[in-house]
Structure 1
Amino acid sequence: MSRSQFSRLSLYAAAIGALAATAFVAAPALAAEDAVIIPAPAADVKAGDGIQTVVIAGGCFWGVQGVFQHTSGVVNAVSGYAGGSKSTADYSTVSTGTTGHAESVEVKYDPKKISYGKILQIFFSVAHDPTQLNRQGPDSGTQYRSAIFTTNDEQKKVTDAYIAQLNAAKVYKKPIVTKVGPLEGFFPAEAYHQDYLTLHPNQPYIAYNDIPKVENLKKIFAENYIEKPTLVSAKLTN
């Protein structure tokens, strides 16, 4: 177990213990942050033929991957690294915060079943807090930044417009800090990071911070939620 992984577990174990020990709380709240109900994008990418791809970053990739594995129309969601070079795309090096990488999730989706705009809406609403700069919840560093790595000009145009729309509507208490730019490379994370939420639902970090994201997806985006997660194809991580 890496130092970063251990700190995540220790932090949440301590938090749960402290909350449970208080006289007025029998058990801790499940989520560090509540989901924000937001409007859909005013503009969207035109549905084309074939599977489409976007890479998103919103803190620890375990929870972001878990959300999109429970999203209908997503054919694969892979945890990995984007923003840096292939030579530094490994967990221990990325965790130093010096590589330019962000913990990211490559989302492949069927545009005839789910739109790009809906993926953005889910990402900004339940998958993470886009107003946190270079951190997400307890995790801090540029590797936990909010970012969207687009794969074509239309995606970037729609993303930029949606961020402007949400900021203008003041749906958050603070401005969105999500960085938007073209994808230059995505590198799948180590096999033990894949499907982490599904495989370890009772792990303290997952139970406290990430399971609530999936529950919020089920509640807020019921029409897009699927109970059985779409797990990573083994050939993509070997």
Structure 2
Amino acid sequence: MSRRTLSRLSLCAATIGALAVAAFATAPSRAAEDAVIIPPPATDAQESGIKTAVLAGGCFWGVQGVFQHTAGVVSAVSGYSGGNKATADYSMVSTGTTGHAESVEIKYNPQQISYGKILQIFFSVVHDPTQLNRQGPDTGSQYRSAIFTTSDEQKKVADAYIAQLNAAKVYPKPIVTKVGALQAFYPAEGYHQDYLTLHPNQPYIAYNDIPKVENLKKIFAANYIEKPTLVNGSKVTN
């Protein structure tokens, strides 16, 4: 069982015990992944009506949290993509053997935010696209970087943008993000939804994910909204 799985099991408890706190005390000295300021895509999608983007970039708590604070996003739901329905279950996905990646289904209004802008945020503040089958402290293929496209145009934009960023050498290593057509998206269990908003002070969230939202606010101020767009319309509890 990975460190990420152990951490999440601890965080699902009503309170964080001394062992969980001690575990996070030994974590790396920097929070989350460093944001990278990158250029927008040279080519963007021309879309109308509510569209869907599905992205995987490590733990879905942080990915969902960032896009729930992004203007133009109608909804952002944590879930699983890449495997089949029978294995779209957290306990199975956590083994890293199902083919699934922890993913977020983002429904957005192209009149307010383009697909290219969503990808720019994804590559800049959401995760480090040069890490293979891991993200920060989380390891395994379920934490891989992936873009599941819902149209040919999305695939063309994603492929072109990755090529553009690699050519510009904005990262010290090549991007390893895989681009492929979405086969299916399966929403995650209810306790995973709105997790960042509901548990902002839990150690994993505070250390790894809150900085991503702060980077969104700093780097993409025009795209940031203070009140998150929640799945359950839940009230915040610390």
Common fold by TM > 0.5: yes
Q: Read off the aligned partner of 2:70 and give its amino acid letter.
A: T
Structure 1 residue aligned with 2:21, among 6, 13, 36? 13
Q: 1:155 to 1:225 in 2, by over 3 A?
A: same
Q: Read off the aligned partner of 1:65 and give its amino acid letter.
A: Q
- Report Cα offsets for 1:73-104 as digits up to 9, x if no partner: 00000000000000000000000000000000
Say if 2:32 and 2:212, in contact at 8 Å, map to a contact too.
no
Secondary structure of the 1:219 match is helix
Secondary structure of the 2:153 match is helix
Q: What TM-score comes out, normalization by structure 2 length?
A: 0.89
- The separation in 2 between residues aligned to 1:208 and 1:127, in whole angstroms, is 14
Q: 1:137 to 1:3 in 2, by over 3 A?
A: closer
- The separation in 1 between residues aligned to 2:3 and 2:178, in whole angstroms, is 27
- The separation in 2 between residues aligned to 1:149 and 1:205, in whole angstroms, is 26
- The separation in 2 between residues aligned to 1:3 and 1:42, in whole angstroms, is 38
- Report Cα offsets for 1:200-220 as digits up to 9, x if no partner: 000100000000000000000
Q: Read off the aligned partner of 2:46 and give its amino acid letter.
A: K
Q: Which runs of 5+ in 1 are unaligned?
A: 20-27
Q: Which runs of 5+ in 2 are unaligned?
A: 12-18, 234-238
User: For 1:83-94, what aligned pairs fall within 5 Å after superposition?
Assistant: 83-94=82-93
- Report Cα offsets for 1:139-173 as digits up to 9, x if no partner: 10000000000000000000000000000000000
- Alignment length, in residue pairs? 224
- The separation in 2 between residues aligned to 1:107 and 1:202, in whole angstroms, is 25
Say if 2:80 and 2:186, in contact at 8 Å, map to a contact too.
yes
Secondary structure of the 1:206 match is helix
Indicate whether 1:124 and 2:123 are aligned.
Answer: yes
Indicate whether 1:192 and 2:200 are aligned.
Answer: no
Residue 64 of structure 2 is matched in structure 1 by 65
Secondary structure of the 1:36 match is coil
Q: Read off the aligned partner of 1:155 and give its amino acid letter.
A: Q
Per-residue deviation, 1:54 = 1.0
- The separation in 1 between residues aligned to 2:158 and 2:23, in whole angstroms, is 35
Say if 1:12 and 1:208, in contact at 8 Å, map to a contact too.
no
Residue 16 of structure 2 is matched in structure 1 by none
User: For 1:23-62, what aligned pairs fall within 5 Å after superposition?
Assistant: 29=30, 31-48=31-48, 50-62=49-61
Q: What TM-score comes out, normalization by structure 1 length?
A: 0.89
Q: 1:163 to 1:152 in 2, by over 3 A?
A: same
Say if 2:81 and 2:186, in contact at 8 Å, map to a contact too.
yes
Which 4+ runs in 1 deviate beyond 6 A?
none
Q: 1:138 to 1:150 in 2, by over 3 A?
A: same
Q: 1:196 to 1:45 in 2, by over 3 A?
A: same
- Report Cα offsets for 1:85-129 as digits up to 9, x if no partner: 000000000000000000000000000000000000000000000
Per-residue deviation, 1:34 = 1.0
